[in-house]
């Protein structure tokens, strides 16, 4: 059933493959040379292999390797991960940049999680990268971190279509005037904040 659902989604997104219809040179490069990059990095072999996860299918190995490539390309100085991927996502991102200051905040208590997040935010002038992984507090984490986002900041949001409620919230993020260019890769969403750029939304067939 899961496979048939993914196949149906892939067919719906067929025309959104390989950067077709994307006119921005920088966005086209991100799609074709980072998201769709086929190069097998040496670090892939060094990282523990994780297969399909029935609990968190949006953090399968293909997505974790994309997280590696994104960090490798943008080279954020700071990265905050809130929640969990499949236990490997943060390892992939850290492997892409050994000089990056990164921290994972995870917990089931909302007040404690948000308090820990705020404590880390207070230490930083700006958050280069935020990864909102599997957490029920994704809305609160997004809103709390937003004031700390700069023009070069970018957010990764996991499981943007994991539920109807999250899909509806993702639509609000895309339409939000505080966000800039956004990418819907189905398993994850990417949010950028450079307000000098024309606000656009791209759907990418990355299933």
DSSP code for 146: G
The answer, yes or no, to whether residue 62 has pLDDT greater than 50, is yes
3-class DSSP state for residue 46? helix
Query: Considering the chain, what is the average pLDDT of its residues?
Result: 87
The pLDDT value recorded for residue 167 is: 97
Tokens standing for residue 128: 């280069």
Lowest-confidence region among 137-141, 163-167, 189-193, 202-206: 202-206
The pLDDT value recorded for residue 39 is: 78
What is the domain-level CATH number for residue 135?
Answer: 3.40.50.150
pTM: 0.88
Q: How many domains does the chain have?
A: 1
Distance of CA 198 to the CA centre of its chain: 21
Q: Which comes out higher in pLDDT, residue 23 or 141?
A: 141
Residue range(s) defining the domain that contains residue 149: 2-203
State the Cα–Cα distance between residues 88 and 93, nearest whole angstrom: 9
94-123 confidence digits (pLDDT tens) = 999 999 999 999 888 999 999 999 999 999
The pLDDT value recorded for residue 89 is: 86
State the Cα–Cα distance between residues 109 and 66, nearest whole angstrom: 29
């Amino acid at each position: 059933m899961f496979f048939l659902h993914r196949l149906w989604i892939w067919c719906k997104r067929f025309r959104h493959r390989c950067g077709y219809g994307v006119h921005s040179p920088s966005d086209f490069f991100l799609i074709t040379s980072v998201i769709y990059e086929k190069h097998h990095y040496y670090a892939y072999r060094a990282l523990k292999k994780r297969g399909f996860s029935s609990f968190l299918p949006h953090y399968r190995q293909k997505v974790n390797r994309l997280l590696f490539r994104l960090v490798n390309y943008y080279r954020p100085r700071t990265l905050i991960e809130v929640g969990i991927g499949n236990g490997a996502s943060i390892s992939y991102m850290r492997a892409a940049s050994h000089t990056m200051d990164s921290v994972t905040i995870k917990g089931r208590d909302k007040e404690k999680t948000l308090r820990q997040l705020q404590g880390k935010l207070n230490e930083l002038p700006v958050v280069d990268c935020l990864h909102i992984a599997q957490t029920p507090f994704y809305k609160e984490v997004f809103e709390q971190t937003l004031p700390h986002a700069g023009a070069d900041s970018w957010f990764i949001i996991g499981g943007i279509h994991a539920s109807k409620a999250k899909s509806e919230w993702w639509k609000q993020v895309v339409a939000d005037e505080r966000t800039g260019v956004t990418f819907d890769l189905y398993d994850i969403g990417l949010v950028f904040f450079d307000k000098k750029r024309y606000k656009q939304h791209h759907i990418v067939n990355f299933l």
